[in-house]
Amino acid sequence: MHHVVLEQWSRGQSFLHARDARAKIPAVLGFLILVATAPAHFEPLALICFLLLIAGLAAARLPVMAALRRAGVVLPFCAAFAAISFLAGEPRRALSLLEKSYLSALAVLLLVGTTPMPQLLRGLDSLGAPRFLLMVAQFLYRYLFVISEQAQHMRMAGRCRGGLAGRRARFRAAAGALAVLFSRSYERAEKIHRSMLSRGFDGRIPVLAAAGFQALDAAFLAAWLSVCLLLRSAA
Amino acid sequence: MNPVIEARDLRFQYDDGTVALRGVDFRLYPGETVAVFGANGSGKTTFVLHLNGLLEGQGSVEVCGLPVAKQNLAKIRQKVGIVFQDSDDQLFMPTVLEDVTFGPLNLGLTPEAAFERAHRALHQVGIDEAAAKAPYHLSAGQKKRVAIAGILAMEPEILVLDEPTTFLDPPGQHALAELLRGLPQAKLLVTHDVEFAAALADRAVFFEKGRIAGEGTVAQVIERFGWSRAVIPSTG
Amino acid sequence: MHIPDGFLSTPVWAALDVAAAPAAAAMTRLAQRGFDEKRVPLLGVMGAFVFAAQMINFPVGAGTSGHLVGGALLAMSLGPAAASVVMTAILAIQALVFQDGGILALGANVFNMAIGGVLAGYLPYHLWGAGRGRRVAVFLGGFLSVLVAAVLALAELQLSGIAMPAALLGVSLGLFVVSAVLEGAITLAVFQAMETLHPDFVRQPAGNRSRTLGGLGLAAVLLAVVGVWFASASPDGLERLAENLGIAGRAKAFLPTPLAGYQAGFIQAAWLRKAAAGLTGLALIYAACALFGRWLAPSRQRSA
């Protein structure tokens, strides 16, 4: 599954992996804003951005081709709208839609591929995002795999049984499967809560303090944002 | 010697009317290992949930002389460590280290002290190297060890293990038995696994219809109640 | 429909980020009333459920199949505020981990699906969920949750100037209606299966207490209606609208960058204005989140 691959990437070791999430998040936001506010005809800039991201991927020792392919998941959706814009007589906009969304996705991939999810959430926490929401996201991410596996088993079981049934029956069987999955997820949440209470949970989930924001992190952020600003003013 | 757990005439009925416990008397002494047998629905798990106040019934439960009641819950949950059947329910934090420090931090320890305890507990269960890993990168056996480490980091006096062998293959079961044998705490093993219980338990009790129907050595209990009654679900 | 980055024009994504941040924070606060931090595992696991539910296919016919989107179902089982929090968390994870939806566009996606969609999906259930019209209400909830979210997204794209010929607009609205009907049918089927399996899972529509949420749901539906009107009236987006309304001259300085004020003469370059709009938007989001965080802190301590 994709998030397992990303998880492995994020546990690597490199200069980018070592940077504090509180530096990487604003850096990526800066880059995204650079791309988002670029004019429609920005091919040279787009190329530089692309090379910058590839350099980032290489510096992070991530598999570049795999990352490029992965960021391509945005393309089908974009291609539809690009086609619309093209047909509407705006080929420039069509091209810029593709470029902008692809570059943005690749930048996010570089962030998530070099920052383990707990650090990312902790970074968002110290940047002011609501704690409750982040905790929900943390549990969601943790149990994604567990619940998906259950769903996969159910799908398999459904296929084994329902090969010949009519559409109506299969529709109803799928609804039944989801109801069961809902109830199992609900029960699991209760068991998790029980095991939390058993270890002295009092309503507050302890958050380990993030490691210090180093001078190197500040320097990285400043350098990166200056590059973005420079590129933007050149465009 | 005073028992570390003493339950007297424990009774419990669920909201839906199911009577799960009909008067359980039980004692666990320091250092001993007791196996709890019984079919599904015989009240074993309900009984376990009373030992640290997750459920509250009629009758009494005392842990190390403290009655299980609201004002003592924090202390009791430190003393009674429950390892649940499905490790995924227990390993809810994003990394192993964060999970094992969850308990100690709740006890009010400083992060440094919690880290120290976590590393010691991980060492004790023999998986120091897993500290930075995410739970879903672990095998079932490793998950069980981490779950036990999370409990050991609370420095409990009693270990309660609910169906510890369920998701383990035979080598994993063997390794778990070795690990448990080396732990000094009093232990309660809730299990269907007679072989596993026989390898570890000093004595066994047999639950039937919300009561302890008999006790003795593992061999005696199995002989008296039979293998089939121990593992095949009964109604009620 | 998850909008990726690069699609919305700067004023649109910035404004929606600014709008969605406090709205999501308010939903979080509302959800925390009913579900304090003790219930965090429930909301997280239900989010994982919605993810996993996408693997279960519902046959539609002609070899195609659909899956549950889930906003309305969550609203009817966990309550609208909790559902909104779960959907927000889902969208954040989708944007970060699966590159499904953008980061700058997260505000827009949250606004469309986690707030507009969830509230609109809860509205019929809130109104008629207790009576004989229960089944219709459940179906309508699923239907509206998808339709409102899709129409809002479409309107935002139009606002951003992504031109769409009228014929195509009709086709896409038609497709939205089809997928909305499918979501309604799936929601109803799963809802009924849940009722049989475990009636406790399905929540009775709350009484007066959440009248505000009902009102907000109505607002979401109305907003979508305006969206449809707007999408059809303004093929060229914001600027055409401004012209049509005859306020182009005066408002041109203001409308394309609703976060104006920095448009004084000393910022000349157009891109700088846009960048400033983006940065101001982010700064506002940051401030809103930080403020809400502060505001939440005391209640968090109380619950501890």
Q: Mind listing the pLDDT tens digit for each residue in C3-18?
A: 999 889 888 899 899 8
Of B49, B40, B43, B39, residue with least CA distance to B20: B43
- Model pLDDT, residue C253: 39
Q: Which residues of B touch A119 (CB under 8 A)?
A: none
C-beta atoms surrounding B18 within 10 Å: 12
- Model pLDDT, residue C276: 54
- Model pLDDT, residue C235: 45
- Model pLDDT, residue B187: 95
| Pair of tokens at residue C121 | 């999906």
Is the predicted pLDDT of residue C300 greater than 90, yes or no? Answer: no
Reported as type and span, the H/E element at residue B8 is strand B5-13
Helices (H) and strands (E) in chain A, counts: 11, 0
Q: Which residues of A touch C77 (CB under 8 A)?
A: 182
Is the predicted pLDDT of residue B26 greater than 70, yes or no? Answer: yes
Is the predicted pLDDT of residue C110 greater than 80, yes or no? Answer: yes
Evaluate whether B93 touches B152 at the Cβ level (below 8 Å).
Answer: no
**pLDDT above 90 covers what percent of chain C?**
30
Contact A178 C304 (CB under 8 A): no
Mean pLDDT across B142-169? 93
Residues 6+ apart with CB under 8 A from A190: C42
Nearest residue on chain B to A202, alpha-carbon basis: B106
Max Cα–Cα distance, chain B, nearest Å: 51
Which residue has 């149990």 as its token pair? Answer: A143
- Model pLDDT, residue C64: 74
Nearest residue on chain A to B132, alpha-carbon basis: A11
Strand partners, C64: C61
**pLDDT above 90 covers what percent of chain B?**
66
- Model pLDDT, residue C269: 52
Distance CA C81, CA C206 (A): 12
Mean pLDDT across B25-31? 94
Which three-class secondary structure state does DSSP give residue B19? strand
Q: Quick one: pLDDT band at residue C289, thresholds 50, 70, 90?
A: very low
Q: Which residues of B touch A210 (CB under 8 A)?
A: none
Of A45, A28, A51, residue with least CA distance to A110: A28
Nearest residue on chain C to A136, alpha-carbon basis: C44
Q: Quick one: pLDDT band at residue C302, thresholds 50, 70, 90?
A: very low
Is the predicted pLDDT of residue B95 greater than 50, yes or no? Answer: yes
Which of B52, B111, B132 is closest, CB to CB, to A208?
B111
Distance CA B122, CA B142 (A): 11
| Pair of tokens at residue C244 | 């049509």
B43 DSSP 8-state letter: S
Distance CA A82, CA A98 (A): 7
- Written as one letter, the residue type at A235 is A
Is the predicted pLDDT of residue C252 greater than 60, yes or no? Answer: no
**pLDDT above 70 covers what percent of chain B?**
96
Q: Quick one: pLDDT band at residue C295, thresholds 50, 70, 90?
A: very low
Is the predicted pLDDT of residue C236 greater than 90, yes or no? Answer: no
- State pLDDT tens for residues A145-171: 899 988 888 888 777 766 656 778 888
Contact A191 B89 (CB under 8 A): yes
Q: What does chain A come to in residues?
A: 235
- Model pLDDT, residue A19: 92
B24 DSSP 8-state letter: E
Evaluate whether B201 touches B34 at the Cβ level (below 8 Å).
Answer: yes
pTM score: 0.84
- Domain residue ranges of chain C, discontinuous segments joined by +: 10-302
Nearest residue on chain B to A199, alpha-carbon basis: B103
Give burial (CB, 10 Å; 0-12/13-18/19+) of A51: exposed
Of A139, A135, A196, residue with least CA distance to B84: A196
Left if phi > 0, otherwise alpha if psi is -120 to 50, otherwise beta: which for B70?
A: alpha
Which residue has 């069509």 as its token pair? Answer: A94
Which three-class secondary structure state does DSSP give residue C65? strand
Distance CA A218, CA A221 (A): 5
Among B210-219, C92-101, C122-131, C240-249, the minimum mean pLDDT is found in C240-249
For the beta sheet containing B186-190, the strands, ordered from the edge strand earlier in sequence to the opposite edge, are B80-83, B158-162, B186-190, B33-38, B203-208, B211-216
Mean pLDDT across C200-222? 66
| Interface with chain B: mutation pick from A5, A8, A199, A204, highest number of B CBs within 10 Å | A199
Q: Quick one: pLDDT band at residue B80, thresholds 50, 70, 90?
A: very high
Is the predicted pLDDT of residue C288 greater than 70, yes or no? Answer: no
- State pLDDT tens for residues A16-33: 999 999 999 999 999 999
Q: Quick one: pLDDT band at residue B233, thresholds 50, 70, 90?
A: very low
Which of B49, B89, B106 is closest, CB to CB, to A201?
B106
Is the predicted pLDDT of residue C258 greater than 60, yes or no? Answer: no
Residue ranges for chain A with pLDDT beneath 50: none
At B38, phi and psi to the nearest 5?
145, 150
Is the predicted pLDDT of residue C211 greater than 70, yes or no? Answer: no
Highest CATH level, class, for C10-302: mainly alpha
> For residue A121, how far is the Cα from the chain centroid?
12
Residues 6+ apart with CB under 8 A from A61: A12, A13, A14
Mean pLDDT across B50-60? 92
Evaluate whether B107 touches B116 at the Cβ level (below 8 Å).
Answer: no
Contact B98 A118 (CB under 8 A): yes
| Pair of tokens at residue A16 | 């980018």
Distance CA C237, CA A96 (A): 17
Q: Quick one: pLDDT band at residue B234, thresholds 50, 70, 90?
A: very low
The reply to whether A164 touches chain B by the CB within 8 Å rule is no
Q: Which chains touch B (3 or more CB pairs under 8 A)?
A: A
Which of A7, A11, A200 is closest, CB to CB, to B78?
A200
Residues 6+ apart with CB under 8 A from A24: A16, A111, A114, A115, A123
Left if phi > 0, otherwise alpha if psi is -120 to 50, otherwise beta: which for A47?
A: alpha
Is the predicted pLDDT of residue B167 greater than 70, yes or no? Answer: yes
Of B58, A138, A18, residue with least CA distance to C93: A138
Which of A28, A35, A155 is closest, CB to CB, to C6?
A35
Contact A175 C304 (CB under 8 A): no
Q: Quick one: pLDDT band at residue C270, thresholds 50, 70, 90?
A: low
Average pLDDT along chain B:
90
Mean pLDDT across C101-130? 91
Q: Quick one: pLDDT band at residue C161, thresholds 50, 70, 90?
A: confident
Q: Which residues of C touch A196 (CB under 8 A)?
A: 41
| Pair of tokens at residue A73 | 């998941």
Distance CA C287, CA C301 (A): 22
Is the predicted pLDDT of residue C102 greater than 60, yes or no? Answer: yes
Q: Quick one: pLDDT band at residue B101, thresholds 50, 70, 90?
A: very high
Mean pLDDT across B191-207? 91
C-beta atoms surrounding C55 within 10 Å: 17
| Pair of tokens at residue B67 | 């009655």
Residues 6+ apart with CB under 8 A from C62: none
Average pLDDT along chain C:
75
Contact B154 A117 (CB under 8 A): no
Which three-class secondary structure state does DSSP give residue A63? coil
- Model pLDDT, residue C251: 37
Is the predicted pLDDT of residue B229 greater than 70, yes or no? Answer: no
- Model pLDDT, residue C299: 41
Reported as type and span, the H/E element at residue C68 is none
Strand partners, A23: none
**pLDDT above 70 covers what percent of chain C?**
68
- Model pLDDT, residue C293: 44
Contact A179 C28 (CB under 8 A): no
Q: Quick one: pLDDT band at residue C272, thresholds 50, 70, 90?
A: low
Nearest residue on chain C to A30, alpha-carbon basis: C279
